[in-house]
């Protein structure tokens, strides 16, 4: 929101800023200053590219769940390389490309002359893209001759605030081993599970995870493994784990879940089979149900859209 306020202060009076924000602003983990500068730069580019009859910059913010409907054929990742989870989606355009609707409101310009900066530093597009990528998101720029440039930005949201979060260094946290050869999913899980009250160790394949489990069979409280792994499948890893420690809960996840996979996983001893298209908060809820009552620590601090 702060980036929008700074941008409104830059705009001349004859250019309106029409904004539609989600009722509950999605919250993102962010380096607030860097992300704010990137978003301000996006707004400036959209403004400077306005041509023709455009009189408004149009900004829309919503929260979306990318799921299996938009999965690539290999079911390993989503269109654009984004893994399945909830995202804040920010669309920036102008009135030559999209008309503001009844849900949009016009952001008023500052009334004090001192609140109107004469200029602001605009980051190059490549730097904007890098900042969005560092926040595990994606940005698409769509220039159109005679109508200006629009932007579509996705940023992963943090878990809901009602989910307990903790310091990952605490020794009394339940320890989850996560196995997935998709690096982006490992990155997301290593962020999301500590926020939900777990310690997590990630491995790329079963051949890396199994020796660690063999060395300390009681060193973790649950295992989450992808079905498709390099070397051997999650089902084969599950069978090895059950020979090692029969009571260790194991969740099998997959981009495509059918009855055959559910049957083979449960026959091998899986506690649960879940689609990778589910929001990560559902995995955290499932782990809490499997492992019983957990500590109720303080929430971590998130950078919210209201502060950007």
CATH number at residue 49: 3.30.565.10
Cβ pair 224, 179 in contact under 8 A? yes
- Within a domain: 163: no
CATH number at residue 282: 3.40.50.2300
Residue-wise pLDDT tens digits, 211-258:
999 999 899 999 999 998 877 789 999 999 999 999 999 999 987 888
Rounded to the nearest integer, the mean pLDDT of the chain is 80
**What pLDDT band is residue 91 in, cutting at 50, 70 and 90?**
very high
Collapsing DSSP states into helix, strand and coil, what is residue 259?
helix
CA–CA distances in Å: residue 184 to residues 84, 97, 143, 170, 190: 10, 33, 28, 25, 10
Q: What is the domain count for the chain?
A: 2
Is 58 a residue whose pLDDT tops 90? Answer: yes
Residue-wise pLDDT tens digits, 121-159:
789 999 999 999 888 888 999 998 888 999 999 988 876
Cβ pair 228, 201 in contact under 8 A? no
Does 131 share its domain with 21? yes
The whole-model pTM stands at 0.60
Does 143 share its domain with 185? no
Residue that finishes a domain, picked among 103, 131, 157: 157
Does 146 share its domain with 184? no
pLDDT value of residue 241: 94
Does 38 share its domain with 152? yes
pLDDT value of residue 283: 86
Does 35 share its domain with 140? yes
Q: Determine which helix (DSSP H) or strand (DSSP E) holds 23, and give its type and residue range.
A: none
Does 32 share its domain with 100? yes
- Within a domain: 166: no
pLDDT value of residue 243: 93
Write the burial class of residue 149 (CB in 10 Å: 0-12 exposed, 13-18 middle, 19+ buried). Answer: buried
Q: What are phi and psi of 266, to 5 degrees?
A: -70, -35
pLDDT value of residue 185: 81
Does 211 share its domain with 125? no
Residue-wise pLDDT tens digits, 247-274:
999 999 987 888 999 999 999 999 999 9
Does 150 share its domain with 190? no
Domain span at residue 258 reads: 174-291
């Amino acid at each position: 929101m702060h980036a929008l306020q700074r941008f409104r202060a830059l705009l001349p009076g004859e250019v309106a800023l029409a904004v539609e924000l989600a009722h509950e602003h999605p919250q993102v983990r962010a380096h607030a200053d860097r992300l704010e500068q990137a978003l301000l730069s996006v707004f400036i580019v959209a403004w400077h590219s306005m041509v023709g009859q455009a009189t408004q910059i149009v900004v829309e913010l919503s929260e979306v769940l990318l799921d299996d409907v938009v999965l690539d054929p290999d079911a390993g990742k989503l269109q654009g390389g984004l893994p399945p989870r909830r995202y804040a989606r920010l669309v920036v355009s102008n009135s030559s490309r999209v008309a503001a609707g009844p849900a949009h409101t016009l952001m008023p310009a500052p009334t004090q002359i001192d609140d109107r900066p004469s200029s602001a530093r605009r980051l190059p597009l490549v730097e904007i893209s890098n900042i969005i990528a560092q926040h595990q998101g994606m940005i698409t720029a769509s220039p159109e001759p005679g109508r200006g440039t629009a932007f579509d930005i996705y940023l992963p949201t943090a878990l809901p605030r009602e989910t307990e979060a903790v310091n990952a260094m605490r020794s009394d946290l339940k320890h989850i081993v996560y196995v997935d050869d998709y690096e982006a999913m490992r990155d997301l899980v290593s962020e999301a599970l500590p926020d939900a009250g777990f310690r997590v160790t990630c491995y790329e394949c079963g051949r890396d995870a199994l020796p660690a489990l063999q060395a300390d069979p009681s060193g973790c409280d649950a295992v989450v493994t992808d079905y498709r792994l390099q070397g051997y499948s999650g089902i084969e890893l599950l069978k090895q784990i059950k020979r090692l420690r029969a009571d260790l809960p194991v969740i099998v996840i997959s981009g495509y879940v059918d009855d055959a996979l559910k049957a083979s996983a449960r026959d091998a001893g899986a506690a649960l089979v879940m689609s990778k298209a589910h929001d990560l908060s559902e995995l955290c809820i499932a782990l809490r149900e499997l492992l019983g009552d957990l500590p109720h620590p303080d929430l971590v601090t998130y950078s919210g859209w209201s502060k950007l």
